[in-house]
Amino acid sequence: MNYILLTGGAGYIGSHTALALLRAGYQVISFDNYSNSSATALKRVEKLAGGNIICLSGDIRDEAALSAVFRQYPVAAVIHFAGLKAVGESTEQPLHYYDNNVGGTITLCRVMREFNVKKLVFSSSATVYGDAKTVPIDETAPRSATNPYGQSKLMIEHILADLVNAEPDWGITLLRYFNPVGADSSGQIGEDPNGIPNNLMPFISQVAVGKRDKLNIFGNDYPTADGTGVRDYIHVVDLAAGHLKALQYLENHQGIEAINLGTGTGYSVLEMVNAFVRVNQVEVPYQIAPRRPGDIASCFARPDKALKLLGWQAEKTLADMVRDSWHWQRQNPNGYAENK
């Protein structure tokens, strides 16, 4: 298993995984339409790793372009990051989200089958658990979705399960990420959201760097210890390592497995803000705002299955997460763009 195709390889999680793969000696092919990323990320990864990535620009819905990749390179496995991920936008543009995420995945699988490449790691999400009744959440918890983005992940999980059912020689891992944060410790690559960040950590970082006045904390009346929402934040470098373990697992396993990638520990919004301030010695002004529609009180993983099946567990601390997020933001106040 040497050539690994990363769809969406230039994105936040894809670029960190590309770095880990290069360092582990894999040949990395990135196939990305750059709808939410910059080729600069991959240039920086190459520099950090001292190796080359085959960087291809293309859309996973373009069957001919994807086929050309498989014709040219001996792809052993695919890590499928490509997808749109903004929850609010998905509600406004459901057809676009279903077309891109679900349609794109079907096209990818069709091409993979044509070239007899049947090892796939899929970027799923804790969003498939909807508003879980109990925490920590294990992989057998009921699944539901409250928005088209989440629905697209759920649909893809079902489609891939049906595929394995029909063709048992596929090996598929559904990695259900919890809340990815942080950046490579070099500060060279990181999360670069377009416009106003939806997610907590990039918002905190942009307040700290002076791009935004203050953080709105969405609700302090949840049934949690301090009233603010609790999530399982996971360092993106730990997440990247999980993908390498999933690839190794697929070398000698067929069938389909859903696996949580989380730390197993939940932190509240206030705990995140306080850690960021304490570790980085910066100010993060905030105010309490109304709850954000669709938010849940508490969500964190039971990560035992990842340890048992993949031999993976998160190693980074909360201090690592907030320090590395800040390091990236401070060095790249405008992300990858020159003047954003």
**What dihedral angle (degrees, nearest 10) is formed by the CA atoms of 159, 161, 167, 169?**
130
Q: Which stretch binds ligand WQD (CB under 6 A): 163-171, 192-200, 243-251, 275-283?
A: 192-200
Binding mask 290-309 for ligand WQD (x = CB under 6 A): --x--x--------------
Q: Which does 328 bind (CB under 5 to 8 A by kind): ligand WQD, ligand NAD, none?
A: none
Residues in the chain: 340
**In this complex, which beta carbon is closest to ligand WQD, that of residue 55 or of residue 135?**
135
Active site residue 149: yes
Comparing CA positions, the residue from 115, 83, 111 lying closest to residue 14 is: 83
User: Phi and psi dihedrals of 181, rounded to 5?
Assistant: -145, 175
Work out how close the CB of 244 gets to ligand WQD at its nearest, in angstroms, rounded to a whole number: 21
Q: Does 253 bind ligand NAD (CB under 6 A)?
A: no
- Is there binding between residue 180 and ligand NAD (CB under 6 A)? yes
CA distance 117 to 109: 9
> Which position among 149, 177, 222, 267 bears the catalytic label?
149
User: Under 8 Å CB-to-CB from 174, ≥6 apart: which residues?
Assistant: 122, 124, 157, 160, 256, 257, 258, 259
Q: Is the preceding omega at residue 148 within 30 degrees of 0, hence cis? A: no
Q: Residue 298's binding partner, choosing from ligand NAD, ligand WQD, none, with beta-carbon cut-off 5 to 8 A by kind?
A: none
CB 287 within 8 A of CB 214: yes
* 239 φ, ψ (degrees, to nearest 5): -60, -45
Stretch that binds ligand NAD, among 82-90, 201-209, 241-249, 273-281 (CB under 6 A): 82-90
Taking the C-alpha atoms of residue 130 and residue 126, their distance in angstroms, rounded to an integer, is: 8
Return the residue of 90, 125, 224, 329 that touches ligand NAD, per CB under 6 A.
125
Specify the residue, 46 or 227, whose C-beta has the smaller distance to ligand NAD. Answer: 46
Give the phi and the psi of residue 32 in degrees, each rounded to 5: -145, 140
- The count of chain residues that interact with ligand NAD, using the rule CB under 6 A, is 27
**262 is an interface residue for ligand NAD by CB under 6 A:** no
Cα dihedral sign, 175-325-91-85: negative
Give the integer Cα–Cα distance in Å for 145 and 155: 10
Distance CA 296, CA 277 (A): 25
Residue 229 contact among ligand NAD, ligand WQD, none, beta carbon within 5 to 8 Å by kind: ligand WQD
Binding residue (CB under 6 A) for ligand WQD from 30, 107, 125, 329: 125
* Residue 100 makes contact with ligand NAD by CB under 6 A: yes
Q: Which is nearer to ligand NAD, 13 or 111 (CB)?
A: 13
Residue with tokens 């933001």: 329
Query: Could you say whether residue 303 binds ligand NAD (CB under 6 A)?
Result: no
Say which entry of ligand NAD, ligand WQD, none residue 100 contacts (CB below 5 to 8 A, set by partner kind): ligand NAD
Is residue 199 near ligand WQD by the rule CB under 6 A?
yes
- Active-site residue list: 149
